[in-house]
Amino acid sequence: MCIGVLVWAILVLTLLPALGASVAALFPTLLGALCAGGVVGPGVQAALRAGRSRRLPVAAGAGPGRRRVVILGGGFGGVSAAKRFEQLLPWTPWLDVTLVSQRNYLLFTPMLAEVAAGSVEAGNVGVPLRAACPRTRFRRAEVLGVDPDRKVVHLRRGDALETLPYDHLVLALGAVPNFRNLPGVATSALTLATLEDARRLRDHVLGRLEQADHEPDPAERRRWLTFVVAGGGFAGTEAVASLFDLVHSVLRYFPHVRASEPRFILVHSRDRILPELGDRLAGYASGKLVGRGIELRLGVTVAGADADGVELSDGERVAARTLVWAAGTRPSPVPVVGPEGGRRADPGQGAVPVERTLRVRGRRDIWAVGDCARVPDLARPGTTCPPTAQHAVRQGRAVADNVVAALTGAAPEPFRFHGLGFLVPLGRQSAAAELRGMRFSGLPAWLLWRGIYLWKLPGPQKRLRVLLDWTIELLFPRDIALTTSERHQAPQAVE
């Protein structure tokens, strides 16, 4: 039935209102979509299960004795590896897999900007890890270090310290924002990497509107209503478009703020935004943003920030009390400790170099995937795989197969994957998309974005909840209740 709801939401609830049809008159079509989905859905699921079973390896004898695999990180790479291990359990009953993460949920990061914009409830883009990987041991803890000599991981659970032994270790610790030691940026900037970040950013913007609504000084009003986003890649472009939609969708509640007063500035170091896309699509995105009144500062970077403004590299100072940082990340630190617990080295200063099989160089029992790994891109010789979710998911599956191969005496396979493409929403039912060489823009690209990411959202319950959020957004104004405090907290790792 979820398939029927998905088709109804994309082809009926989304497309027809965009063409001027009445939303209320479209609800009777939901019953037919549910019936059709109830017939088609089981067939699709059966076909997918059959396809997966054909790809599973044949049993390789009794296998080794009980072996412990520890996965550090509950993001796309780590969860993908855990789920693949679960698929292999009928052939590898001797595996004992443990997933360690500070969060107890898998965050679907492509929809974080939707949460920040108030379009989707925060809880609907986080899938509990215990539900996503029901046959995997889960340990909610902070990783303090790895001791490869003793083959243990040092953890902190609350105030308690403990060690977790392993036979094979998979590093999937993700990345953290990289503020490049710019003065004031780490303490002044807001990030968009966790659910807490998204909630805080939404409430921060609404709080600025509350301040401006009662501010008599024009200069101070302009400072409260100026929003600067650093970074013109996918994250920054999506963030500035989402914040623009949020502000202009709730202005009805702030009678003293005119629609022309909020100011949005996107700062990017290159000569055009979205360098991952081709010139035509990037130009389309730029035109859309500029047409809505979003200012583009190209060829400059943020040089510093404080509570009252943002310094740019060309010497300009922008009076603003909001800076959103989307100008880069760095791999999460993976401290390596010695037998006595003292730090011996810290590969976390950069991505962990791995071989083509995803095995860490110089180690037979440690593997790495996702943003914390430097994976050779065999589809583009001489380069490394980009830090995208689609690569992390496939690296997670591949590393599980290779760990099992190593444990059973088989040869691990090199990881090879060519990216499927990119999608970036631009707000107001518009997007830019490049998929397998095909380019889309405007409403068709926006429909693709919603349909693809809704389909990829783990779990039918979460998909249905997001569909309901989108439906409510069409029928009712966005909520402006403030739910978090203004206190700024240091960013955490993106797992």
Residue 227 included in any domain: yes
Q: Report the pLDDT value the prediction gives residue 350, as an integer from 0 to 100.
A: 72
Q: Quickly state the pLDDT bin for 427 (edges 50, 70, 90).
A: confident
Residue 433 is predicted with a pLDDT of 92
Instruction: Tell me the average pLDDT across 160-188.
Output: 94
Q: Kindly state the average pLDDT of the residues 360-381.
A: 92
User: What is the pLDDT, as a whole number, of residue 50?
Assistant: 45
Domain co-membership, 297 together with 400: no
pLDDT at 401 over 90: yes
289 shares a domain with 192: yes
* Residues 437 and 397 reside in one and the same domain: no
Would you state the pLDDT for residue 341? Answer: 42
Closest CA to 273 of 39, 97, 432, 42: 432
For residue 368, being part of any structural domain is answered with yes
Give the residue with greater pLDDT, 38 vs 485. 485
Answer yes or no: do 18 and 153 share one domain.
no
Binned at pLDDT 50, 70 and 90, residue 21 comes out as: low
Query: Which among 8-22, 275-289, 311-325, 414-428 has the top mean pLDDT?
Result: 311-325
pLDDT band at 458 (very low <50, low <70, confident <90, very high): confident
The one-letter amino acid code at 63 reads G
Claim to verify: residue 36 and residue 81 sit in the same structural domain: no
- Specify if 43 maps to a domain: yes
Which one is predicted more confidently, 229 or 61?
229
- One-letter amino acid at 13 equals L
In a domain, residue 131? The reply is no
Q: Residue 267's pLDDT is what?
A: 97
Do 223 and 256 lie in one domain? The reply is yes
Same domain, 428 and 306: yes
Q: Looking at the whole model, is its pTM more than 0.75?
A: yes
- On whether residue 246 sits in a domain, the answer given is yes
Domain that holds residue 27: 2-48
219 and 320 housed in the same domain: yes
Tell me, yes or no, whether 356 and 459 share the same domain.
no
* DSSP class per residue in 87-116: HHTTT-TTEEEEEEESSSEEE-GGGHHHHH
Percent of the chain with pLDDT strictly greater than 90: 68
Identify which has the larger pLDDT, 253 or 12: 253
Looking up tokens 């990345």, which residue turns up? 175
- Residue that has been written with the tokens 């990881």 in this structure: 415
DSSP collapsed to 3 states, 386-446: CCCHHHHHHHHHHHHHHHHHHHCCCCCCCCCCCCCEEEEECCCCCEEEEECCEEEEEHHHH
* Average pLDDT estimate for 395-413: 96
Mean pLDDT estimate for the chain: 85
5-28 mean pLDDT: 53
* Residue 54, in any domain of the structure: no
Report how many domains make up the chain: 3
Co-location of 293 and 246 in the same domain: yes
In this structure, are 349 and 259 located in the same domain? no
pLDDT in tens, 44-53: 554 544 444 4
Q: Is residue 63 pLDDT above 70, yes or no?
A: no
- Tell me which of 211-215, 372-376, 474-478 is least confident: 474-478
Domain co-membership, 317 together with 441: yes
pLDDT of res. 15: 56
Here the CATH number for the domain that contains residue 311 is: 3.50.50.100
* pLDDT at position 29: 56
pLDDT of residue 49: 46
Residue 38: its H or E element: helix 29-55
Residue 90: which CATH number? 3.50.50.60
Specify if 120 maps to a domain.
no
- Residue 222, pLDDT > 70, answer yes
Q: Which of 257, 276, 113, 261 is nearest to 190 (CA)?
A: 113
Residue 53, pLDDT score? 41
313 within some domain = yes
Q: Is 60 exceeded by the pLDDT of residue 62?
A: no
